[in-house]
């Protein structure tokens, strides 16, 4: 009984091995996509036998979803921290956008999974796991919608349905992620961030 607050060595070791597997899987999934990735390759990269993977995860799907849910969590934590450092609604939304891209730059692998596969998840996953994903994603959207709704209340933004505006901003961010993932070199990421910020806040129409 040497564990008081923390986990026993065995438990820690088990978690460390699970982490190894998750990292290997993230790499392989991000290279080949869910369907094309094979458990044989994941096992090889993780330096475990294939059978061992099944001591840690019930199925390929569950392994995949674990990676995605982890990624979403880290992302949400990261942007919340950045947003909380600001006070005015506009600054907070800008902080959100900046943090999103900051996180993207640091976590390309998880994003190439999230961004490229998101739209086909419904077909890749069984109902339960897909619903888990959906509610996590809805959480992300809700948070952004609250940020925007706050700005609307404070008259910093025009009268928009916050949920719809959040969806739109997601779409703008998403489109840049996709382009950046598909042409990793020679993509003017920073320039594009400025463009979508300017469009989202000011629009393209010339002032009257």
Partner DNA sequence: TCAGAAAATGACCAGTTAGTCATGTCTTCA
Partner DNA sequence: TGAAGACATGACTAACTGGTCATTTTCTGA
**Positions in the binding site for a second copy (CB under 8 A):** 32-33, 35-36, 90, 115-120, 122-123, 148, 151, 155-158, 160-161, 164-165, 167-168, 170-172, 174-176, 178-179, 182, 191-192, 195-196, 198-207
Q: How far apart are CA 171 and CA 177, in angstroms?
A: 10
CB 92 within 8 Å of CB 47: no
| 59 binds DNA per the rule CB under 7 A | yes
DSSP 37-77: --HHHHHHHHTS-HHHHHHH-S-HHHHHHHHHHHHHHHHHH
Closest separation between CB of residue 78 and a second copy, Å? Answer: 22
Task: Say which entry of DNA, a second copy, none residue 204 contacts (CB below 5 to 8 A, set by partner kind).
Answer: a second copy
Is residue 37 classed exposed, middle or buried when 0-12, 13-18 and 19+ CB atoms within 10 A define those classes? buried
| 48 binds DNA per the rule CB under 7 A | yes
Closest separation between CB of residue 74 and DNA, Å? Answer: 25
Is residue 198 classed exposed, middle or buried when 0-12, 13-18 and 19+ CB atoms within 10 A define those classes? exposed
- Taking residues 9 to 38 in sequence order and writing x for each that binds DNA by CB under 7 A, - otherwise, the string is xx---x--x------------------xxx
Residues that bind DNA (CB under 7 A): 9-10, 14, 17, 36-40, 48-52, 54-55, 59-61
């Amino acid at each position: 009984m040497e564990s008081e607050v923390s986990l026993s060595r065995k438990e820690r070791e088990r978690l460390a091995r699970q982490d190894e597997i998750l990292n290997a899987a993230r790499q392989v999934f991000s290279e080949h996509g869910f369907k094309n990735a094979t458990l044989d390759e994941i096992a090889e990269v993780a330096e475990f036998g294939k059978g061992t993977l099944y001591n840690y995860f019930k199925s390929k799907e569950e392994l995949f979803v674990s990676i995605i849910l982890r990624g979403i969590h880290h992302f949400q934590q990261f942007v919340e921290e950045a947003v909380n450092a600001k006070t005015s609604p506009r600054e907070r939304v800008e902080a959100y956008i900046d943090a999103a891209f900051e996180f993207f730059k640091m976590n390309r692998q998880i994003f190439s999974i999230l961004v490229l596969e998101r739209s086909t998840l419904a077909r890749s996953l069984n109902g339960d796991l897909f619903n888990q994903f959906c509610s996590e994603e809805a959480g992300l959207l809700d948070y952004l919608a609250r940020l925007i709704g706050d700005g609307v209340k404070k008259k910093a933004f025009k009268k928009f349905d916050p949920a719809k505006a959040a969806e739109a901003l997601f779409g703008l961010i998403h489109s840049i992620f996709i382009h950046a993932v598909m042409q990793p070199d020679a993509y003017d990421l920073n320039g594009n961030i400025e463009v979508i910020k300017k469009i989202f806040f000011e629009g393209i129409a010339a002032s009257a």
